[in-house]
């Protein structure tokens, strides 16, 4: 297995490191732009400097370990020449027909069912389920315990809050946030925050 850099020294980084270790990867270093963190450790791994330092390594492999979707997008666009790898925890259940984009992480206990497609730099968090034929865009975060029924579409940058749900066939527009515990019973437009059951925009 290759050596990997983890970009992000927060709590999300701890879960990414745990996933990589469970897969058998060696985490070379954690990198973070907050210089106050340099020299500290995350899950026993030294925070060795800013994220741009990854480019000093020859043919580096890395994962962006930041939970905020827009921040992940900015980092991915800023840092070029990196092999963004995907990571799937061994306890996750991923059907062989599912496709997972570069930089996407699937955490412990998650389930990805047949013919679902996950874009790049996404997060399928602990215990989340993605049923058959879902289409998950780039920079999406499906929070812990979220359940997506079959043929759900989450466009780029969607955030599905902890314990939220979506019924079959609905679409959530780009950069929309669905609040914790909300239930999506119909299509939602982009760039809104929706809460409740049924999920409705609050702004």
Binding residues for acetyl-CoA: 141, 162
| Other beta carbons less than 10 A from residue 42's beta carbon | 22
Q: Is 88 helix (H, G, I), strand (E, B) or coil?
A: strand
Q: Exposure of 58 by Cβ count < 10 A (0-12 exposed, 13-18 middle, 19+ buried)? A: exposed
Say whether 12 is catalytic.
no
Side-chain-side CA neighbours of residue 24 (13 Å): 3
CB atoms within 10 A of CB 24: 9
Instruction: Decide if 120 contacts 76 (C-beta within 8 A).
Output: yes
Binding site as annotated, residues for substrate: 32-33, 67
Catalytic hit among 12, 89, 121, 132: 132
Return binding residues. Answer: 32-33, 67, 141, 162
Contact criterion met (CB below 8 Å) for 170 and 153: yes
Residues 106 and 127: their CA atoms lie apart, in Å, by 9
Give yes or no for a contact between 90 and 109, defined as CB atoms under 8 angstroms apart.
no
Catalytic site positions: 132
């Amino acid at each position: 297995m290759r050596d990997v850099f983890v970009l992000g020294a927060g709590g999300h980084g701890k879960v990414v490191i745990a996933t990589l270790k469970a897969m058998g990867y060696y985490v070379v270093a954690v990198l973070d732009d907050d210089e106050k963190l340099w020299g500290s450790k995350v899950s026993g791994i030294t925070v060795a400097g800013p994220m741009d330092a990854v480019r000093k390594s020859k043919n580096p492999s890395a994962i962006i370990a930041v939970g905020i979707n827009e921040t992940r997008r900015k980092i991915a666009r800023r840092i070029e020449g990196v092999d963004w790898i995907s990571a799937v925890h061994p306890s996750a259940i991923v059907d062989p027909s599912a496709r997972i984009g570069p930089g996407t992480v699937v955490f412990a206990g998650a389930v990805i069912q047949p013919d679902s497609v996950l874009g790049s730099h996404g997060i399928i968090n602990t215990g989340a389920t993605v049923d058959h034929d879902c289409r998950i865009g780039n920079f999406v975060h499906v929070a812990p315990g979220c359940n997506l029924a079959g043929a759900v579409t989450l466009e780029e940058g969607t955030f599905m809050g902890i314990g939220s749900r979506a019924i079959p066939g609905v679409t959530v527009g780009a950069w929309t946030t669905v609040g914790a515990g909300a239930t999506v019973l119909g299509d939602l437009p982009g760039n809104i925050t929706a809460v409740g059951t049924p999920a409705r925009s609050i702004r």
